[in-house]
Amino acid sequence: YKRQVSTQSTGTMTSEKELMLQGKPYWGGDTQLAAERLRARELLYELNHSKPSETELRTKILKSLIGKFGEGCFIEPPFFCDYGEHIELGDGSYMNFNCVILDCNTVKIGKDCFFGPNVSLYAATHPTDPVERGSAATCRELAKPITIGNNVWLGGGVTVVPGVTIGDGVTVAAGSVVTKDVPAYVVVAGNPARIIKHLPKPTDNSHHQ
């Protein structure tokens, strides 16, 4: 099954992948998307079954898998994602064991970010109306981008839902569920995550000390 949508303005055809990245309803069983997910799973299998000593191999796999893999980044296997190519990981960022990124839309992560174990970023979502949602075989899926700034720390077990933006310098307490945008330089905690502390914004001089 491969559905393409004609746009009246240009007469061109919109692929399911384009619909997905535009945040519009799309068919996840599309042949192109299925092939791209399979490619990601093959690379993830290699990564997650590599030896701890095979650091160069792990880096090579991650650079093939992740759309933008910054300098000095490290991801502890096991790691899981849908496509990989829609993920951007800034320089010096680190992910601990068992992180999951459902990158059906873009997931942008800034520089020097720390992820504890079992952190989950979910760009994927579904209609809340059960009739519209339908069955797994017929459901039209949705996806919204996630953006995380620089110097962000997500504690263990944090979940970030579709469409959320987290500003620079944020700390998210372990086990929190982030359901709405978070401004820069705060600490948030809870389900749903709420601001519990405001942090001083570093000056240029203090940042480089």
Catalytic (active-site) positions: 126
Tell me if 123 sits within 8 A of 162, measured CB to CB.
yes
Q: Whose CA is closest to 192, among 153, 155, 161, 150?
A: 161
Query: Distance between CA atoms of 30 and 17, rounded to whole angstroms?
Result: 8
Q: Is the peptide bond before 145 cis (omega within 30 degrees of 0)?
A: no
Tell me the backbone φ, ψ of residue 14, rounded to 5 degrees.
-100, 125
Quote the tokens at residue 1: 């099954």
Please count the other Cβ atoms lying within 10 Å of the Cβ belonging to residue 12: 11
Query: Distance between CA atoms of 156 and 152, rounded to whole angstroms?
Result: 13
Three-state DSSP class for residue 186: strand
Give the DSSP H/E element, type plus range, for residue 146.
strand 146-148
Helix axes 31-48, 55-65, angle to 10 degrees: 170
